[in-house]
């Protein structure tokens, strides 16, 4: 596996479902908005399938009579109250990021989660120093699956697409990478299951994040 990794100078990660388990926090904020509408709470599993395409997509699919001008600001105001307590690193993330950093790989984050939330979570989880670039939907014209975020990352890294790898957990990540001309590896730890990811035809379907550095020898 590491032989394949050597082709890339930089690795860009998705966040929710790839590096972090944030579904409990997201479900809590969705259910806060549903409560404002007098609706019963959804389970984490019911919310999970709509995570990954940004808060507007999330709320429009989980809140009937969704009012973006009111509900989106309320969601963004509520989420910081729960996201630190209810978010944790996924297995392997705490090992893989320092290993890649020590191996000289430049790391970036491209997520449909607001950048202000991502940066706060990166600091809280103790992994902020590994990331050279952090981008969110507020930094580009279009969120994923449009290629805008990845193209912005390529520009900031000053690297061609062939020297950058994108790692995600959803078909939307495969679509984003293909649109940007970037190779993509996926892990079945997020909103899409293994069969769905296989059908999306990523360059590699990993068993876990740890597979990224399989075979790596650190000095």
- Tens-digit pLDDT profile for residues 47-81: 998 998 889 999 999 999 999 999 999 999 999 99
- Tens-digit pLDDT profile for residues 111-150: 999 999 999 999 999 999 999 999 999 999 999 999 999 9
Provide the b/e sequence for 156-195 (b: ≥16 CB within 10 Å): ebeeeeebbbbbbbbbbbbbbbbebebbbbbbbbbbbeee
- Active-site residue identified among 14, 16, 71, 148: 14
Q: What sections of 37-92 are H helices per DSSP? A: 44-48, 55-62, 68-82
213 token code pair: 């550095």
| Same domain as 104, residue 206 | yes
| Same domain as 170, residue 100 | yes
pLDDT at 204 over 60: yes
Cβ count within 10 A of residue 198:
13
What per-residue confidence (pLDDT) applies to 162? 96
In a domain, 218, yes or no: no
The CATH number of residue 42's host domain is: 1.10.150
| Same domain as 113, residue 52 | no
Cβ count within 10 A of residue 57:
15
| pLDDT bucket at 4, cuts 50 / 70 / 90 | confident
pLDDT at 2 over 60: no
| Same domain as 155, residue 47 | no
- Tens-digit pLDDT profile for residues 135-193: 999 999 999 999 999 999 999 999 999 999 999 999 999 999 999 999 999 999 998 99
In a domain, 219, yes or no: no
In a domain, 159, yes or no: yes
Tell me the C-alpha distance between 144 and 137, whole Å: 8
What per-residue confidence (pLDDT) applies to 3? 58
The number of C-alpha atoms within 13 Å of 55 and in the hemisphere containing its C-beta is 26
Note if 14 is an active site residue: yes
| Same domain as 172, residue 197 | yes
In a domain, 133, yes or no: yes
CA 206 to each of CA 4, 18, 147, 190: distance values in angstroms, whole numbers, following the listed order: 13, 11, 22, 12
Question: Which structural domain range is residue 32 located in?
Answer: 23-82
pLDDT at 218 over 50: no
The answer to whether the predicted template modeling score (pTM) of the entire model surpasses 0.75 is: yes
| Same domain as 209, residue 116 | yes
């Amino acid at each position: 596996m590491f032989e394949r990794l050597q082709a890339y100078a930089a690795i860009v990660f998705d966040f929710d479902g790839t590096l972090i388990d944030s579904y409990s926090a997201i479900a809590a904020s969705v259910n806060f908005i549903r409560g404002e509408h007098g609706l019963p709470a959804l389970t984490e599993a019911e919310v999970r399938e709509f995570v990954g395409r940004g808060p507007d997509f999330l709320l429009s699919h989980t809140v009937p009579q969704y009012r973006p001008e009111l509900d989106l600001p309320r969601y963004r105001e509520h989420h910081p109250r729960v996201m630190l307590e209810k978010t944790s690193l996924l297995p392997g993330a705490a090992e893989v990021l320092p290993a890649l950093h020590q191996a000289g790989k430049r790391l970036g984050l491209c997520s449909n989660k607001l950048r202000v939330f991502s940066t706060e979570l990166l600091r809280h989880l103790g992994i902020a120093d590994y990331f050279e670039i952090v981008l969110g939907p507020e930094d580009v014209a279009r969120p994923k699956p449009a290629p805008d975020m990845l193209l912005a990352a390529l520009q900031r890294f000053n690297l061609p697409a062939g020297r950058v790898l994108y790692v995600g957990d959803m078909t939307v990540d495969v679509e984003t990478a293909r649109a940007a001309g970037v190779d993509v590896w996926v892990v079945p730890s997020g909103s899409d299951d293994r069969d769905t990811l296989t059908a999306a035809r990523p360059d590699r379907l990993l068993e876990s994040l740890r597979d990224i550095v399989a075979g790596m020898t650190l000095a």
